[in-house]
Amino acid sequence: MLISMSVLVYLFQFLVFARPEDTVFYFLEDLGFVPISVLLVTLGVNTVLTQRDKKATLEKVSIVINEFYAETGTELIMGLRGYITNLDEISGAMQISGKWTDKDFNEAKAFLISSPIRIDIEIGGIYELHRLFQEKKEQILRLFENANLMEHDSFTDMLWAAYHVYDELRSRESLENLPAADTRHLNVDIERAAGLLMIEWLESMRLLKVKYPYLYSLAVRKCPFTHGKVVIEN
């Protein structure tokens, strides 16, 4: 239809003004600009659509991540607290409040990166830890099915680290009297999972504060670092 309209306009111009050389000249001039016009429009439209899609995806991802911590992540952090030998130091940097700004979140994240979590599975009940990860494995596995989350590299890395801990625990015939090498290996795996869990938790809290302040207020009251050290007993 558009092509037909264009042909009619050129035909009208030719019949009324009877200057075919001018018609051909301006036709070629306009035709030369078409590729540039298409390029500009395509880039502009694609940029707008990409940004809109990215924003919509981030909104969906933020809701899923928040739900993960509401159902699973916070419990995993609470379950790991009993194995953190430097819990007091970690907790001191993770006391979020309603007054926190981006600077506070950045400083807490930088602290977690520069001051790694230290784990000792011998100070807590490893069977209790195994039970906790076994209970939460389904929620973790379901998140791997979410295509949007697969584009969120840091969160995906955290999921893999958490699932790896469960895989390490279940792969052993017995958790009694573990060899020193196994204990060190599990400590390293749990340290990695705990660190990533806490970093992603901070990012989730940062987003909640901006997007859903009423949910952030609730999360502050339920902060897993507010209370003293908890040791999981056998």
Task: Encode the chain (234 residues) as per-residue pLDDT tens digits.
Answer: 888 888 888 788 778 877 777 777 777 777 777 888 888 878 877 777 777 777 666 677 778 888 888 888 999 999 898 899 999 899 888 989 989 999 999 999 999 999 889 999 888 778 888 888 999 989 888 888 887 776 678 888 999 999 999 999 888 888 888 888 988 999 999 999 999 999 999 999 998 898 888 888 888 888 888 754 333 333
pTM exceeding 0.95 = no
Q: What is the pLDDT of residue 233?
A: 35
Residue for token pair 């395509």: 42
CB 191 within 8 A of CB 113: no
Give exposure, 64-99, as e/b (b: 16+ Cβ within 10 Å): bbbebbeebbbbbbbbbbbbbeebeebbebbebeee
Q: What confidence score (pLDDT) does residue 232 get?
A: 36
Q: Is 35 exposed, middle or buried (0-12, 13-18, 19+ CB in 10 A)?
A: exposed
